[in-house]
Amino acid sequence: MTTAQRPMSPEERREANRRMHAEARQQRQASRGPRGIADAWWDRARQAAAEQERRGNPAAWDDLAHFLANYCQRYEQ
């Protein structure tokens, strides 16, 4: 017996589409090796910071910037 599923709300549908797109992009990027995977993580980090900003937490951008600054300092030596 199957149960009828309720239709997705526009927000749920948007999130499902975003997740599907991100997973497909990550798989495509993985074929480029570590550089492609890093590219996919960069996209996700920006998306996460933007989402946090929309939810009232603009400090996520500061946190991302701080992380990237530390990374650059570590590897540019």
Q: What pTM did the predictor assign?
A: 0.69
Within a domain: residue 22?
A: yes
Q: Quick one: which of 65, 68, 69 has its CA closest to 52?
A: 65
Within a domain: residue 3?
A: no
Within a domain: residue 4?
A: no
Within a domain: residue 6?
A: no
Instruction: Please name the amino acid found at residue 17.
Output: N
pLDDT in tens, 16-39: 998 898 888 888 988 899 999 899
Domain of 32? 12-75
- Residue for token pair 């996700």: 44
Within a domain: residue 7?
A: no
Structural domain count of the chain: 1
Within a domain: residue 16?
A: yes
Question: Mean per-residue pLDDT for 66-77?
Answer: 95
Structure token pair of residue 65: 């910037």
